[in-house]
Structures are given as C-alpha cells and as structure tokens.
A and B are shown apart, each in its own frame.
Chain A
Amino acid sequence: MNQPMLEDSPYLPKWAEITRIEQLTESEKLFEMRLANGEPLGHSPGQFVELSVMGIGEAPISVSSAPTENDVFELAIRRIGNLTTAIHGSVTGDRVGIRGPFGTPFPVEEARGKDLLFVAGGIGLIPLRSFIRFVLDHRDEYGEVTVLFGARNPSERIFLDELEQWEERDDIIYLESVDKSGPGWKGNVGVITTLFSQIHVDPSRTYCIVVGPPVMYRFVILEAKARGIPDRQIFLSLERKMKCGIGKCGHCQINHLYVCQDGPVFRYTDIFDLEEAL
C-alpha cells in the first residue's frame, strides 16, 4: 500500500453510493454499495471499513461480500447504536463515507488446499460470509468445507437464501443450531458447540475460522482443540471499539496490539496468552 501524502488526511472518507438495500431480519439490513470513483473496494475477506454517515459519525463495519464480486461490496448491519440507526434510515441512492479497508484478513492464502471449518455465532456470520463466499467462488482450490452456524433463535438467522443454498450443496457441509427454538423450527436446538458432535474433521489439515460474540470463543476453541486442530490453525476475529482504524486513537488496544491494525483477525497462537484478548 502506498503511504498517503502528508497533505492527505487519513480521516477523509471516500464516497460510496448505496445501490441496494435488503432487510435481513427485524434489526439487520444488507447494504450493497459502490464507491463513487468506480474503484473496487479492494478488500480481503475479514477486513472492515469505517462507515460514515456524515453528521452522525463513523463506525467500524465488516465487509460481508467476497472480493470476487467486482465493483460493489456489501455491508450487513445490525441497528444497535447511533451510526447504525442512521444508516438503517437511508435509502437507495444515498451516499455514505468509506475509509479502509482496514485490518488483517482471514488466512485465505495459507488455507488454500486445506480443509476449512467455519464457526459463526449470530452476526459473526457477516464477516465470515466474505470468506465463505470467496471459498465457494474458488471451490476447487480448497479441501473439505464445513460451516457451523448458531443463532440465538430462528428469527435471528440471517442470509436465509444462502443458508438454504449451502444446505443443498453437496460440496460443503452446512449445519446450524439455535439456542432457543421458535415457531415452526424443526432444526437443531442447543448452543453452537453441540454441532461439533455431528462433524468429522481431519485435524492436521483443518483450518478453523471462528467469529461470534466474545463469550462464544472460549467454548468453540475448546471444541476445536478437543478435535485435535492445532492452535496455529485456529483463527478468530475480535470485536473492539475501533475508532480511527489506523492504530492511533487507543480504543481497540489489547496489550501491545491494536485490533484495527494487528487484527481483527488473529491467529489463536498469537493471542491465547494475552490478557484481555479472549
């Protein structure tokens, strides 16, 4: 990446136009966007952007689409704070600001030719979807692919059409569970770790990629380790307050690491002994 000129502010966003909006659940929407200058976003799966609604502010948002999807990109956003409430009020054609992409990607290259075990908890599926879609677009370059998805209840499941496609494909294994059942739910009930008993992995060649709420990591890592997956083949994406995206503002600091620059994707062996990380 070129160093910016000292006259260029790293805080100046590029403009992007919202080209499509899809309601995913009651509180999540998918926004398809295109940068106004016509450039592709240029992200790798696992990276995030700082999304601006001018006049409201900025927030870190994972990119949910794969880089293979040329000139548009997708952000799936839960309405939870000021910025996300504002973006939920926007319509197609509105402009927003984008800085980034920032941060470390999932091990897209390192895991090539290897088996992949994706473990997504709730909206952890949003960043993970970028990698999953990338793998599905390059299916023959990866080995066995397993996706485990857990949601709190059936109404919080997102990307329903895709989940259905994944279930139907015979070149990947897709399993899901909900913590609490709901009307019409016929699938698995139980926390995400209960799905591990239904899968077979070849631990030495499996990369386990985990994204979910902070509380989920400890338990999923235990399962992965119990399956014999080596620590250095476990990757996770951490959530923190990432205000500036360039390792300055101090909010996302864990030990000597800045999640916005050194993460959000970390190799388990790089953080397992860091206080406050997990």
Chain B
Amino acid sequence: MELQLIEKSDHDQFVQNLISNYQVEGVKRKDGSFLYGSIKAPEELCLDFDCTAIPPRKYFLPPKETLLQFALTPDLEATPVIENDPFILFGVHPYDIKAINQMDRVFARGVPDPHYLKRREAALIIGVDPATVAPRSFWADMGASTVSEGFDLMLTDVGEDFIVEIGTNKGRTLLEEYAKTRPATRDDARERVKIRSRISHICKKRGFAFPKREIPKLLEHSWKEPLWEERAGKCLSCGTCNLVCPTCYCFDVQDDMDLDLAHGERTRRWDGCLLHDFATVATGENFRETRASRYRHRFYRKGLYLFKILDDMACVGCGRCASGCLPDIADPVNLFNKLREEEK
C-alpha cells in the first residue's frame, strides 16, 4: 500500500488544479444536507460530511439516461448513446465505494451493460474516510469501514494533513501532476489506522445484535413472519428507500418521442420495487400486489437474493433508507434485529 501526504494548506490548490483540468463532481452542503454536484471552486467541496442524501450512483446510473436515439424512417434507424466523458468524483465514503464495486459486478456479469460500464470506466474516484457518522449509519457492522479497491485515491483527514492512499496508477498520475505531496511516514500510517478505528468504533454503536453473516440464514425461514405485514401497514409505497439506496439499481425502459414525431429516444430511468406497479404485467396481473410483499421483497433482495448471486449482501450500512423513510420502517438494523428476536 502506498501512502502520500497532502498538507491541508496545499489541498485547495490540488482541488483547484483538478477543477482546471477536469469536470469535478463532489459533495456540497445544501440546506443542512449534503449532496453531490458540480464543484466549480475548492471552497464548495465538503469533505467532512456524515452521509449524502443521495448516493453517488447517479453518476453511473443516472435517474434518466438515453440508451438509444432513433428515427422513424421507413427502414428505422437507431444508434446507441454511450457516454464516456471523463470526470472526477471527489469525496466518496468507503461504504459507497463498496456499493459501486458491487454495482460494477452487476452490470458486468452475464451480458455486460456498456451504458453503465463505460461511464464507470471514465470516472476517477477520490474516496474519503468519514470524519463523522450519520445518526442511522451502520456501515462498520456491514464490513464497509474500509475498502481495498474501487478508488483511485483515498483521503483520510488526520488533522493538519490528508493522508492519501494510492489505489490505481491513474490515481498516482493525478497526484503527481496536480498535488504537492510528500511520502507518508510510518507514524502517519499509524495515525491513519487510529483515526479509522476511532470512527469505526463510533459507527459500531449501531448495528446488529447478532453476526451479520447470519442474515441470509435468518431470512431463509422468516418468510411467514407477521412482522412484514405489521411494518408494511405503514408503508407509503413511495419508493424513497429505493431512491436513496446505493445498491438499488432496478430500472424501467421507455420511449420518449420528440415533438416532430419522427425522432425519439429510448430512455431508462430508476424504478423501485416498493412502487405498486413494479411487478405488474400488461394483463394487469401484479406479482407483488400487497404492500407487505413488496416491503418483504426489498429485504430479501438485499439480504438473501443478491447474496446468493454475488456472495455479498446488497446493503452497505449507509442508513439512508432509515433516515429517508417517513414512517420509519425501512431501517435494516431495526428490522433484522426484530426478526431475529421473533425467531427465538
């Protein structure tokens, strides 16, 4: 592992250099929350956020994107739209990087999806260790305190300086060209370990009352628990939990015609399994008609179905679903702990 050090007084210049040479997207403070957006000046970039309202997945799987452009000529014409404009995503917490790593696998496995993968390839990711913990986060318990891949650079605030871990050659080049650095000492490295463990410790205050590796097994026999029905009774079917989830990637595809009615676009947009018509087919048959079935599906998908496919749960512990859910029924910690209790 290669560690460098950027003095905080040099950091703004680093960011400014990146802005001068790249499209830079990063975390900004807005009305008391943190949101990803375009960074036009170093002072806009916030690195001491606890958790952004929306995960960074929108940079790879936008809320709405064009897959094809077509023309309704007699022979029909269609061209794929594959975006690969380079950009820097600055300020991604390890748990969100873990989610991106997982999504990379999803879009690469089987038939690869170039619309996602090309955008992903074009991105440079500069991660940052959390300096504070959001009230509903539990990433430490999900094994997402640190990641070993998925970033080009990873920053840790150690007071006077940022320690930078170099994740890729692209990251090294970025640092060499645009930052004033010096090699980190063994003491610096130790300091980073200490800081990481301190913050991880704070995050561990929230978590499961049992080992999280037992969640898939717990779900194997929780299908008929009355808890699904009870909790889902309050569900608004609003899909906020899907919207804010860094590992949710379900999408819908539809055609949008131009006003000339001769050209159009095939677009995809985010969909959510909590929404009423998610599993409805043209005959009107809805394979998940009840709120309880949709509510349960989400937890099963996160904790069991995708686990069977990816050998990893599709939850990184960001806690966005918990803080975004108006009736407060989406919190995985609360739900799985309760299921476990009922089991006994």
Question: By the criterion CB–CB under 8 Å, are B110 and A249 in contact?
Answer: no
**A interface size (C-beta, 8 A):** 43
Interface string of A248-262 (1 = CB under 8 A from B): 111101011000010
Nearest to A277 among chain B residues (CB) is B287
Interface: A3 (CB within 8 A): yes
Pair A11/B68 contact, Cβ less than 8 Å = yes
Check A55–B255 contact: CB distance below 8 A: yes
Interface stretch, picked from A137-145, A174-182, A221-229, A237-245, is: A237-245
Say yes or no: is B292 at the interface (Cβ < 8 Å to chain A): no
A40: interface (CB < 8 Å):
no
Contacts of A247 in B (CB 8 A): 109-111
Give CA–CA (A56, B257) in the complex, Å: 8
Whether A11 contacts B117 by the Cβ 8 Å rule is: no
A250 to B300, CA, bound (A): 13
Q: Which residue of A lies closest to B293 (CB)?
A: A276
B282 contacts which chain A residues (CB < 8 A)?
59, 80-84
A246 pairs with B82, CB closer than 8 A: no
Quick check: B223 and A275 within 8 Å, CB to CB? yes
A83 to B261, CA, bound (A): 17
Is the C-beta of B278 less than 8 angstroms from some C-beta in chain A?
yes
CA distance A12 to B112 in the complex (A): 13
Q: Is the CB of A7 within 8 A of B82?
A: yes
| Contacting pair A241 B279 (CB below 8 A) | yes
- CB pair B72–A55 under 8 Å, yes or no, is yes
The answer to whether B287 touches A240, judged by C-beta atoms less than 8 angstroms apart, is yes
Interface of B is mostly: mixed
Chain A interface: which of B197-205, B301-309, B326-334?
Answer: B301-309
Residue A15 interfacial (CB < 8 Å): yes
Contact of B72 among A4, A7, A54, A84 (CB under 8 A): A54
B106:A241 contact, CB within 8 angstroms: no
Contact A12 B301 (CB under 8 A): no
Inter-chain contacts of B214 with A (CB < 8 A): none
Q: Is A11 a contact partner of B67 (Cβ separation < 8 A)?
A: yes
Which chain A residues numbered 96 to 142 have a C-beta less than 8 Å away from chain B? 97
Q: Would B111 and A250 count as touching, CB distance under 8 A?
A: no
A54 to B82, CA, bound (A): 19
**Cβ of A160 under 8 Å from chain B:** no
A9-B68, A240-B279 are known contacts. Are A54 and B76 too (CB-CB below 8 A)? Answer: yes
A4-B111, A81-B282, A256-B309 are known contacts. Are A13 and B271 too (CB-CB below 8 A)?
A: no
In the complex, the number of residue pairs spanning A and B with C-beta atoms less than 8 Å apart equals 129
B305 touches A255 (CB 8 A): yes
Task: Bin the interface of chain B by size.
Answer: 35 or more
A58 lies within 8 A of chain B by Cβ:
yes
**A239 contact set on B, CB distance < 8 A:** 281, 285
| Inter-chain contacts of B113 with A (CB < 8 A) | 10, 246, 248
Please state if B252 and A249 are interface contacts (CB–CB under 8 Å): yes
A42 within 8 A of B: no
Residues of B within 8 A of A276 (CB): 287-288, 293
Of A15, A36, A54, A59, which is within 8 A of B264 by CB? A54
Chain A nearest CB: distance from B131 CB in Å? 34
Would A6 and B255 count as touching, CB distance under 8 A? no
Q: Chain A contacts of B106 at CB under 8 A? A: 248
Interface residues of B in 293-320 (CB under 8 A from A): 293, 300-301, 304-306, 308-309
Contact status B80-A3, CB under 8 Å: no
List the A residue with the shortest CB-CB distance to B251: A249
- In the complex formed, the residue of B with least CB distance to A81 is B282
Which of A15, A56, A80 is B283 in contact with, Cβ under 8 Å? A80
Interface flags for B109-148 (1: CB within 8 Å of A; 0: not) read: 1111111011000000000000000000000000000000
User: A residues within 8 A CB of B264?
Assistant: 54-55
Partner among A9, A80, A251 whose Cβ is within 8 Å of the Cβ of B82: A9
A251:B271 contact, CB within 8 angstroms: yes
Q: Which residues of B contact A84 (CB under 8 A)?
A: 282
Contact of B114 among A9, A13, A83 (CB under 8 A): A9
Judged by a CB distance under 8 angstroms, whether A57 is at the interface is: yes
Say yes or no: B112 contacts A4, CB within 8 Å.
yes
Q: How far is the CA of A97 from the CA of B266 in the complex (A)?
A: 12
Please state if B78 and A54 are interface contacts (CB–CB under 8 Å). yes
A201 to B76, CA, bound (A): 50
8 contacts between A and B (CB under 8 A): A3-B111, A9-B80, A11-B115, A81-B282, A240-B281, A241-B278, A241-B280, A250-B273
- Contacts A97-B78, A243-B253 aside, 10 further interface pairs with beta carbons under 8 A come to A6-B112, A11-B253, A15-B75, A95-B76, A97-B76, A241-B279, A241-B287, A246-B113, A248-B251, A276-B288
